[in-house]
């Protein structure tokens, strides 16, 4: 029996890995949209879902921004503080250990975007001057920090630097356990591992076990830092959320840099005020569309969608990109609910055909609730087109529209499965479900407003389904399936990946969850690998894909926080978009 279970588990892992490899580069462009073989249900047989309404009311609509004089004064303060911090970065170059700690603080406090060139030059210098064979540093914390910062920057520093911390039996030395900061640093570094780095796999298991065992006995702030890291390591944290949290820790450190702390607080509040103003404008646009009345069955998640996209990029230079991607994600949410929470098969067949035509004349065949939405959707992309014409980037609109068409094709395929009561094989499921996760759409669309760093070749790259995009869609799809499985089956929904896997492989739900978790771990290692130099596209583009995966870990790790907005999601939104740092 034990051998049979082991064989079944190995066979099913082989199935998923084979499927992921088989469909790399595939798309939905050739999928048939005909529903002629499917019996169309009567309107009263619509699928049903009950989503809670918008919980925020009009509080963002009524936001009043600061007057221009006050904002200009704060911006001047930020510029002055930036110059002081920049000087400190340059002075610190004579002491590598001190410099690494300062860079780490700058990054974790959320102000690294002001010093990208200085940080890159400093880490390049440290990487060029480092030789593994000549390394005499035996401080675990320093070595782990150097490894993590260089890997985060894309430098492929060898994990062999940790061999010195093993004993003659090949295990990590027991005396490391008492070095809490070193253990925490090694734990964080291990999350930058790629495939085949067994020593980092061992390091993660070693540090996780001992940090969990000791966290209750530690005092502040170490207990807080360890507990936070165990819940969400730096590699998986959203920059704005992590900055807000780390500011509260950093200010209590005895030897914190007062200038850096002041900059971090002032900059956080200034950026937050820009986001509040942008969200206020979006809230007015959203209310004018009146979707709460026109499509009342759909999730009303503008604020949550904005939070999602601020996780992808928060920097002021990307405000227009944030606006557009927020509009795309909330419109996609409504489309998702049209397909699996309300529309009949006949209605969504016509809607799919209308999306394929991408022509306002197509509304003639749509029911009233779809007409209003279809016009609004085309208007969003018209707005993108008009802005791109100003910048001479008109070609980008085509990629954005094609990504949306692929998304809708995937939704329609899933809707047909539901109406046929068909549980697909994992091969069938993965072909469609990786697209329906929405992450190919969001990744492609995230490039639109990023300016001249994005080339046509970058768009061709992203639509070719490279490894990092595939990894991000795997994380999105499997995390969604794992957290939403029970709710969606209770309300009537197409079979999730969990169901498909259980049926095909003959395993329990618990075993399916375990395998999906393993695939997510593998996907994170793929992302880490693809972010090492030389990269296929500029690092800022890869960072959008990395950040999309981080958002999934934050919103879906403990449940579907986007659909079911609970305390954790409310608190996160409050921290990033509502409450300034006092």
What DSSP element (H or E) covers 439?
Answer: helix 439-446
Give the per-residue pLDDT at 39. 38
Of 105, 165, 156, which Cα lies nearest the Cα of 135? 165
Alpha carbon 85 to its chain centroid, in Å, reads 29
Give the per-residue pLDDT at 458. 99
The confidence band for 6, taking pLDDT boundaries of 50, 70 and 90, is very low
pLDDT above 70 for 85: yes
Average pLDDT on 208-223 reads 97
pLDDT above 80 for 20: no
Of 473, 491, 446, which Cα lies nearest the Cα of 337? 491
Contact 329, 380 (CB under 8 A): no
Of 526, 437, 525, which Cα lies nearest the Cα of 481? 437
Give the per-residue pLDDT at 93. 72
Total Cβ atoms within 10 A of residue 441: 25
How many percent of the chain have pLDDT more than 70?
89
Give the per-residue pLDDT at 557. 94
Q: Is the peptide bond before 550 cis (omega within 30 degrees of 0)?
A: no
In the CATH scheme, what architecture does the domain 300-578 have?
Orthogonal Bundle (1.10)
Average pLDDT on 490-508 reads 86
Q: Look at 137 and 525; give whichever has higher pLDDT.
A: 525
CATH 1.50.10.130 in the chain: give the residue spans. Answer: 130-256
pLDDT above 60 for 33: no
Token pair of 261, please? 């702390």
Q: Is the peptide bond before 514 cis (omega within 30 degrees of 0)?
A: no
Question: Is the whole-model pTM more than 0.85?
Answer: yes
* Maximum Cα interatomic distance, the chain, rounded to a whole number of Å: 76
Token pair of 5, please? 């279970």
pLDDT above 80 for 26: no
Give the per-residue pLDDT at 484. 83
Cα distance between residue 109 and residue 118, in whole Å: 16
The confidence band for 495, taking pLDDT boundaries of 50, 70 and 90, is confident
User: What does the mean pLDDT of the chain come to?
Assistant: 92
Of 56, 62, 562, which Cα lies nearest the Cα of 305? 562
Burial of 163 (0-12, 13-18, 19+ CB in 10 A): exposed
CATH 1.10.600.10 in the chain: give the residue spans. Answer: 300-578
The confidence band for 15, taking pLDDT boundaries of 50, 70 and 90, is low
The DSSP annotation for 503-563 comes to: HHHT--HHHHHHHHHHHHHHHHHHHHHHTSSSPSS-HHHHHHHHHHHHHHHHHHTTS-TTT
pLDDT above 70 for 152: yes
Q: How far is CA 539 from CA 308, 530, 533, 544, in A?
A: 20, 10, 9, 9
pLDDT, one tens digit per residue, over 507-549 is 999 999 999 999 999 999 999 999 999 999 999 999 999 999 9
The confidence band for 92, taking pLDDT boundaries of 50, 70 and 90, is confident
Alpha helices in 138-290 (DSSP H): 140-152, 180-190, 198-214, 222-231, 239-250, 258-289
Give the per-residue pLDDT at 23. 54
pLDDT, one tens digit per residue, over 162-187 is 999 999 999 999 999 999 999 999 99
How many percent of the chain have pLDDT more than 90?
86
CA–CA–CA angle 555, 316, 390 (5° rounding): 110
In the CATH scheme, what architecture does the domain 130-256 have?
Alpha/alpha barrel (1.50)
Contact 439, 476 (CB under 8 A): yes
Average pLDDT on 233-242 reads 99
Cα distance between residue 55 and residue 484, in whole Å: 20
Would you say the C-alpha torsion 165, 168, 170, 171 has a positive or negative sign? negative
Average pLDDT on 292-305 reads 97
Burial of 221 (0-12, 13-18, 19+ CB in 10 A): middle
Q: How many alpha carbons lie under 13 Å from residue 572 in its C-beta half-sphere? A: 25
The residues facing 172 across adjacent strands are 166
pLDDT above 70 for 493: no
Helix/strand/coil for 172? strand
pLDDT above 60 for 563: yes
Average pLDDT on 132-143 reads 78
For residue 58, the 8-state DSSP code is T
């Amino acid at each position: 029996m034990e051998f049979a279970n082991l064989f079944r588990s190995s066979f099913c892992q082989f199935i998923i890995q084979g499927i992921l490899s088989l469909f790399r580069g595939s798309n939905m462009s050739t999928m048939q949209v005909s529903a002629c073989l499917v019996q169309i249900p009567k309107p009263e047989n619509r699928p049903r879902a009950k989503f809670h309404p918008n919980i925020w009311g009009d509080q963002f609509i009524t936001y009043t921004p600061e007057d221009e004089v006050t904002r200009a004064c704060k911006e001047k303060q930020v510029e002055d503080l930036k110059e002081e911090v920049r000087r400190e970065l340059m002075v610190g170059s004579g002491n590598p250990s001190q410099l690494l700690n300062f860079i780490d603080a700058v990054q974790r406090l959320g102000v690294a975007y002001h010093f990208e060139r200085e940080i890159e030059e400093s880490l390049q210098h440290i990487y060029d001057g480092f030789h593994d064979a000549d390394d005499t540093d035996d401080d675990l914390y320093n070595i782990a920090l150097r490894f993590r910062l260089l890997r985060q920057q894309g430098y492929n520093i060898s994990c062999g630097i940790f061999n010195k911390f093993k004993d003659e039996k090949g295990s990590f030395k027991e005396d490391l356990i008492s070095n809490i900061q070193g253990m925490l640093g090694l734990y964080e570094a291990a999350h930058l591992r790629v495939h085949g780095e067994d020593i980092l796999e061992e390091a993660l298991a070693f540090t996780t076990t001992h940090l969990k065992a000791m966290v209750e006995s530690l005092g502040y702030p170490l207990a807080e830092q360890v507990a936070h890291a165990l819940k969400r390591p730096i590699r998986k944290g959203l920059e704005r959320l992590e900055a807000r949290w780390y500011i509260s820790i950093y200010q209590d450190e005895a030897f914190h840099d007062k200038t850096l702390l002041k900059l971090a607080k002032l900059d956080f509040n200034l950026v937050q005020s820009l986001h509040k103003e942008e969200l206020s404008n979006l809230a007015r646009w959203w209310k004018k569309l009146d979707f709460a009345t026109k499509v009342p069955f759909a999730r009303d998640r503008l604020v949550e969608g904005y939070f999602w996209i601020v996780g992808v990029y928060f920097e002021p230079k990307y405000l227009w990109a944030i606006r557009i991607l927020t509009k795309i994600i909330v419109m996609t949410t409504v489309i998702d609910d049209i397909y699996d929470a309300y529309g009949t098969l006949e209605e969504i067949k016509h809607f799919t055909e209308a999306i394929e035509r991408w022509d306002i004349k197509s509304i003639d065949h749509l029911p009233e609730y779809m007409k209003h939405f279809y016009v609004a959707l085309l208007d969003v992309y018209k707005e993108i087109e008009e802005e791109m014409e100003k910048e001479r980037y008109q070609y980008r609109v085509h990629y954005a529209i094609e990504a949306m068409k692929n998304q809708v094709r995937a939704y329609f395929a899933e809707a047909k499965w539901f109406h046929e009561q068909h549980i697909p094989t994992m091969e069938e499921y993965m072909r469609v479900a990786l697209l329906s996760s929405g992450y190919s759409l969001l990744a492609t669309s995230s490039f639109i407003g990023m300016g001249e760093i994005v080339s046509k070749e970058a768009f061709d790259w992203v639509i070719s389904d490279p490894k990092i995009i595939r990894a991000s869609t795997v994380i999105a799809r499997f995390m969604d399936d794992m957290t939403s499985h029970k709710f969606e089956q209770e309300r009537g929904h197409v079979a999730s990946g969990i169901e498909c896997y259980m049926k095909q492989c003959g395993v329990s739900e618990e075993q399916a969850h375990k395998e999906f978790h393993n695939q997510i771990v593998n996907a994170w290692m793929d992302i880490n690998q693809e972010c090492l130099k030389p990269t296929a596209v500029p690092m800022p583009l890869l960072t959008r894909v990395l950040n999309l995966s981080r958002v999934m870990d934050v919103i879906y790790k403990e449940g579907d926080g986007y659909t079911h907005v609970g305390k954790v999601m409310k608190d996160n939104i409050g921290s990033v978009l509502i409450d300034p740092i006092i």
